[in-house]
Amino acid sequence: MSNTLILRESFDPLAFLETLEKEKVTILYAYPTMIHALVHHPAAKQYDYSSLRLGIYGGSAMPLATLERAFEVFRCDFLQRYGATECCGSGISVLSPQDHRQAMEGREEARRRLTSAGRSTLGTLVKIVDEEGGELTQPGSTGEIAAKLNAPMEGYWRRPEDTQETLKEGWLHAGDIGMKDEAGYLYIVDRKKDMIISGARNIYPREIEEVLLTHPAVLEAAVIGVPDEYWGESVKAMVVLQQGMKATEEEIVAFCKKNLASYKKPRFVEFVLSFL
C-alpha cells in the first residue's frame, strides 16, 4: 500500500482549496489558523471536497466557531491531536472523530467537549499540577498540564536548567495551563507564558479570542498583554475584519464586555489587514 504526500512551499488558502479538489485529497493536516483561513475564503464553497475523509488539526486551540464552519464546508470527520515536540512523536491526548460527530449531533455536553483536547492517548498519564507541583484532582481545577509518556525526550541539547524545569520525576511539564472535566477530557486554557496578569488577576487570551471570533464582523483575532503603569498589563486585541464589514474599537470592546467579565475586556483594539 502506498500513500501520496502533497507538500507546498508556502500556505496560500486558494491554492490549498484547489489542491484538495484537483488531487482528491483524503486526509488534510493543518493548523487551526490555516483551517480558519480556508473555510472563510470567499471561494471555500466552490470546490468539491467529496474525497476528503478526515481533517487532522493541532498545534493550537481551534475556536468553536471555526470548527463549526469547517464541518459545514468540508463535511468530513475531524481529529484533534495535542502534544509537543518534547513528546518525540507521541500525543498527550486526542479528541476523536466520534467525539466530533457526537458534538455535531447537537448534544450540549458533547458540543462543549469540542473545545477540549480530548482524553489521554493509550499508555499516557495526564495530570494537572499547581505551582508547587502538587496534583489538582478536583474537576475544573486549573493548573499546568503534566504528562508521563512511554517515550519522552531525554533532555534539551546542552540546556540542563531547561531540562530540569520541564522533566520532573518522569513527568513532562508541557508549559500549558489546562483543566479536566468529570469524564477526563482535557481542556487547554492557554499557554502558561501567554497569561496576562492585570491588577493581580489572571487573564487568558484564548478565552477573549473565542468571544471575538463570534462577532459577525470579525474574521481573525489575537489577544496580547501590553505594559500598563497602573495595572501591570492591559489587554489588547488585534482584529482582522470580514471582507466588506466594519466595526469600531468601541463596538468591539462593548461586545466583549457583554460576553465576558468586565476586567477581561480589551482596553485597546487595533485593526489589521492580515495575520499571514
- Predicted confidence at residue 258, as pLDDT, reads 95
Residue 271 has pLDDT above 90, yes or no: yes
Beta bridge partners of 198: 201
- Closest C-alpha to 130, from 181, 184, 89, 168: 168
Residues 6+ apart with CB under 8 A from 7: none
What is the pTM for the complete model shown? 0.79
Q: What is the pLDDT of residue 236?
A: 97
pLDDT surpasses 80 at 99: yes
Residue 31, judged by CB atoms within 10 A of its CB (0-12, 13-18, 19+), counts as middle
Measured at the alpha carbon of residue 147, what is the angle toward residues 113 and 57, in degrees to the nearest 5?
Answer: 45
Rounded Cα–Cα distance for residues 24 and 31 (Å):
20
Mean pLDDT estimate for the chain? 92
User: Are the C-beta atoms of residues 170 and 195 closer than 8 Å to each other?
Assistant: no
> DSSP of 110-133, one letter per residue?
HHHGGGS--EEPTT-EEEEE-TTS
Give residue 36's pLDDT band: very low, low, confident or very high (50, 70, 90). confident
pLDDT band at residue 1, thresholds of 50, 70 and 90?
low
Q: Looking up cell 513527568, which residue turns up?
A: 171
- 83 pLDDT more than 80: yes
pLDDT at position 115 is 87
Q: What pLDDT is recorded for position 150?
A: 87
Q: How confident is the model at residue 62 (pLDDT cuts 50, 70, 90)?
A: confident
The pLDDT value recorded for residue 260 is 94
Q: What residue ranges define each of the domains in the chain, with the CATH number in brackets? A: 13-115 (3.40.50.980), 120-191 (2.30.38.10), 195-271 (3.30.300.30)
Per the model's pLDDT, the better-predicted residue between 272 and 275 turns out to be 272
- Alpha helices, DSSP H only, in the chain? 13-22, 32-39, 64-74, 97-104, 108-112, 160-166, 205-212, 249-259
Mean pLDDT of 126-146: 95
pLDDT, residue 152, reads 84
Q: Pairing state of beta strands 167-168 and 171-180?
A: antiparallel
- The Cα–Cα gap between 231 and 31 comes to 34
pLDDT cut 90: percent of the chain above it: 70
Give pLDDT, residue 96. 95
In three-state secondary structure terms, 102 is: helix
Stretch 240-263: mean pLDDT, rounded?
94
Residues 211-216: what's their mean pLDDT? 93
- 53: pLDDT strictly greater than 90: yes
Q: Report the pLDDT value the prediction gives residue 65, as an integer from 0 to 100.
A: 82
* pLDDT digit string, tens, across residues 149-197: 988 899 999 999 999 999 999 999 998 999 999 999 999 988 888 889 8
| Grid coordinates given for 205 | 487570551
- Of 106 and 22, which is predicted with more confidence? 22
pLDDT greater than 90 at residue 221: yes
The predicted structure's pLDDT at residue 122? 92
